[in-house]
Amino acid sequence: MVKFKMYLDDETYEELKGEVAHYLVQCSMSYPLNIDNFAYKLGIEFIPYSELGKEARIFAMHTSQDGFLCEKNRVYASVFFNDEKKIERQNMSKMHEIGHYVLDHNSTRNKPDEEKEAESKFFARYAIIKKTPRRCPMTRIMF
């Protein structure tokens, strides 16, 4: 198995920065960023794994050790997250899943999953820390 880091092109990085700025302005957000309030304004519900029943928690952990997005036709969205992780990891996971939502990755079929993951990781990092290097490794792809 070979690991490598995926890079997005400069144009995509700039587009993602614009998306972050757009949604922060649309939701009247400022720094330091309150991720829970941001999600609320976007209509996204956060559900910690600890609130799930035993079988649902097993399913959630099998789906992702960090978190995942469930949405239905942009009518509702829930982010399930592992609240046993450190708070910084929880926040990064929450913002990563918000990235999938606002970038409409669930309806984007013509884009590889690795690219969607790289975009969401950049979105999260840029939104949270506001200063992301121009060329930043975003995704480890396993082969």
Give 108-133 pLDDT, tens digit per residue: 778 888 999 999 999 999 999 864 34
Q: How far apart are alpha carbons 120 and 83 in whole angstroms?
A: 20
pTM of the model: 0.84
Strand order in the sheet with 67-72: 44-48, 76-81, 67-72
Q: Is the peptide bond before 137 cis (omega within 30 degrees of 0)?
A: no
17-71 tens-digit pLDDT: 999 999 999 999 988 899 999 999 999 999 999 999 999 999 999 999 999 999 9
Residue indicated by tokens 């609240």: 83
